Structure 1
Amino acid sequence: MKLTFFENGLHGENAHVDPLEVFDGLRWEKSGELPANCPYSVWQILNHMIFWQDFYLAYLKGVVPEHPEQDEDSWPDETGPSSENEWNDAFFQFSSGLKEAENEAKKDLQEQRDAGLERTRGDLLATLMAHNSYHTGQVALIRRLIGEWPPPSW
């Protein structure tokens, strides 16, 4: 089965790291480390990615989510998870959302949503894909800075 541009893009291709692989093998205790001069930890980035992924998935399903007043409202205050379970739950939520996005990518991408949004499904998926790719690169850099790169599967 041939994958679409969006299905490939949601999992990184060519120079882009798969957003699922970037978290591979990272111990939950290390996900909260905040290297010098870095504004966010891997944990905070993961939760920020979840926030916006869920936001765009809502649009793709025809629901108009409430946009945060400030961009900072999409970032968690805690720099790290309180337990391995919390880390695993967040990763599961992210990976499940990515699977939902893949399913949305298989639908008619030109369909317009009548939600006061002048964007197509393809536009929304492209935004989600670019957002995840951008932050995946940040996670890779932070993992390098904390001595946790490359993932063990590489």
Structure 2
Amino acid sequence: MTQDEQLREQLVKLMRGGQAFRTREELLEGITRQEAGRKAEGLPYTIWQLLEHLRFAQHDILDFSRNASYQEPAWPDDYWPAQAAPESQEALEQTMRTLTQDLEELVQLVQNPKTDLYAPFPHGQGQTLLREAMLVAEHNAYHLGQIVLLRKLFGYLE
């Protein structure tokens, strides 16, 4: 295996998680609409708001990574939902499906040996696919940790 193949393999493992902690699928398994919208005293967000933030931010990074006509959303307004709870269980499940789908699209970009991990995006300010993949991994791990803490606080996880 070449160094390039090793790097791509490790990036994929990093983005998918499950090496230092359980996978995203395991951590989010069984979340209900009620749980997702539950507010913890003293915290500014619900699980739903964290999930929607993750979905939006990850999709934004994916869009930036493959779209030369990328338009930057407004920070922080576009990145954080105002609604504390999902409208339905289906809306919650759709958000979690989209998280997986967008992550897998980013994984495909990273796995493609024709994609230069080090080439700056022409429409960016020096960002590369390598940087964006690591950003997704770091951002997802950070907010998944917050979700785990909330689920433990509410008694949904051991």
Normalising to structure 1: TM-score of the pair? 0.87
Per-residue CA distance 1:95-124 (angstroms, 9 max, x = gap): 111111211221331233211331211011
- Correspondence 1:33 to 2:38: yes
> How far apart are 1:64 and its partner, in Å?
4.6
Aligned 1:1-154 pairs, distance under 5 A: 4-107=9-112, 108=115, 109-150=117-158
C-alpha distance in structure 2 between counterparts of 1:4 and 1:124, whole Å: 15
C-alpha distance in structure 1 between counterparts of 2:81 and 2:89, whole Å: 17
> How far apart are 1:143 and its partner, in Å?
0.5
Q: Unaligned stretches of 5+ in structure 2? A: none
Question: Relative to 1, partners in 2 of residues 1:127 and 1:64: Cα closer, same or farther, differing over 3 Å?
Answer: farther
RMSD: 2.0
Q: Where does structure 1 differ by over 6 angstroms across 4 or more consecutive aligned residues?
A: none
Question: Relative to 1, partners in 2 of residues 1:64 and 1:125: Cα closer, same or farther, differing over 3 Å?
Answer: farther
Normalising to structure 2: TM-score of the pair? 0.85
Question: Relative to 1, partners in 2 of residues 1:72 and 1:19: Cα closer, same or farther, differing over 3 Å?
Answer: farther
Q: What secondary structure does 1:71 align onto? A: coil
> How far apart are 1:39 and its partner, in Å?
1.1
Question: Relative to 1, partners in 2 of residues 1:57 and 1:81: Cα closer, same or farther, differing over 3 Å?
Answer: same
Question: Relative to 1, partners in 2 of residues 1:6 and 1:28: Cα closer, same or farther, differing over 3 Å?
Answer: same
**Which is further off, 88-97 or 135-144?**
88-97
C-alpha distance in structure 2 between counterparts of 1:11 and 1:116, whole Å: 25
Task: Give aligned-pair identity as a percent.
Answer: 24
C-alpha distance in structure 1 between counterparts of 2:35 and 2:62, whole Å: 29
Q: What secondary structure does 1:74 align onto? A: coil
